[in-house]
Amino acid sequence: MFWESVLIALEGLKTNKLRSALTMLGIIIGVGAVIAMVSVGLGVQQKVQTSIAGLGSNLLIVMPGANSPSGGVRLAAGSNITLTKQDAQAIAREISGINYVAPSVSQQFQIIYGNQNWKSSVQGTTQEFLQIRNFAVASGAFFSNSDENARARVAVLGQTVATSLFGGASPLGQTIRIGKAPFRVIGVLESKGQSSMGQDQDDIVLIPLSTAQDRLIGQAYLNSISIQVENDKVMDKVQADITTLLRTRHHLSSNVENDFSVRNLTALMTTMQETTGTITLFLGAVAAISLVVGGIGIMNIMLVSVTERTREIGIRKALGATYKNILMQFIIEAIAIGVTGGLIGITLGVASARVISLVAGWNTVVSGAAILASFGVSVIIGLFFGIYPARKAALLDPIEALRYE
């Protein structure tokens, strides 16, 4: 009886093709929209995660200035000169659970080669910067400790700077001017692309810290200290230890707030993931409203079908069809609409995600869980909104049904 009811349901759908298609339309759009919107949300989440991870794993960044209530950095008068190279050396020497420490200074400069020029961020740092920030050298070499000690005028270019100044030619061994100072290019970094905030991570020039402080920028203080912690389990302890150490070194009493801030990028990644996850759920929930609308459409058409087939139901009952037989037939028809609409919607949703990725350039991630969930919901909606029309059909009196005109 079950398979016979399935065949009857499918035959009914084929008999009224246009009406069946219109009935499925809400389910198709709903399932497709859920898959497409969740794919966009997951794509954003993945891009944010990749971008933050690209800054470095288990990363702490110490910056001058106190934390503001809004989560940024508030610079009091003179507080931007509180971090020194000695602070970075003390952190590396006295704090346990740390892999690398890289002090940095940075400033925007006009970079000139021949008749080409490009404005970029010039960052003075140490060798540890590569390991901490997950940079790699694509060609040439990074500056050495001897370059740092000698305050050598050597530079390593990001891909954007190298392309802007040299086009397709190799910059290795060439002399560029940073501001008015000549520097010899000894290496080019591998491309890292844009960050989650849209910043070009390849638009950078790296030079030795001592060279930047003494021969280019002329400042003794640091703009930041990047720290790679051994693992995420000790992040909070290391952050607290750094805070205690710097407060002691800066002679801050207990009633004075920090003149520096320690940012935990692991915590930032967790917060961003939670935020983008919420956005993804919101997009999916908005799209799922179409599924409910599709379910109402199923119930509406099924009620019309019951009215049209009243005499058929009466004849079936007169020939011995039971309440359960009639109920099963109409419920299976409703589920068949949900299943068919769900399968078409899945195809539409996956295709839409691919089109969004190609046309808009957005990163999309098609989720198997979203596909299964939306398909399951389409089946449940077909069942739920098909129960009332099915019960109405099953409860018809056979004599009254046969009299129906």
b/e 375-393 (16+ beta carbons within 10 angstroms → b): bebbbebbbbbbbebbebb
- Both tokens of 280, joined, read 């993804």
b/e 129-165 (16+ beta carbons within 10 angstroms → b): bbbbbbbeeeebebbeeebbeebbbbbbbbbbbbbbb
Q: Note if the pTM is more than 0.75.
A: no
pLDDT of residue 309: 80
- Dump pLDDT digits (tens) for 284-300: 787 778 788 888 888 88
pLDDT of residue 268: 65
- Dump pLDDT digits (tens) for 179-197: 889 999 999 999 887 765 5
Q: Which ranges of the chain have pLDDT less than 70?
A: 1, 49-57, 66-80, 195-198, 266-271, 273, 400-405
pLDDT of residue 76: 45
- Both tokens of 267, joined, read 């915590």
Q: How far apart are CA 210 and CA 182, in angstroms?
A: 16
- Dump pLDDT digits (tens) for 214-239: 999 988 899 999 999 888 788 889 99
Cβ(232)–Cβ(139) under 8 Å?
no
For the chain, the first-to-last Cα distance in angstroms comes to 29
pLDDT of residue 240: 92
Look at residues 200, 154, 160 and name the one whose alpha carbon lies nearest to residue 173: 154
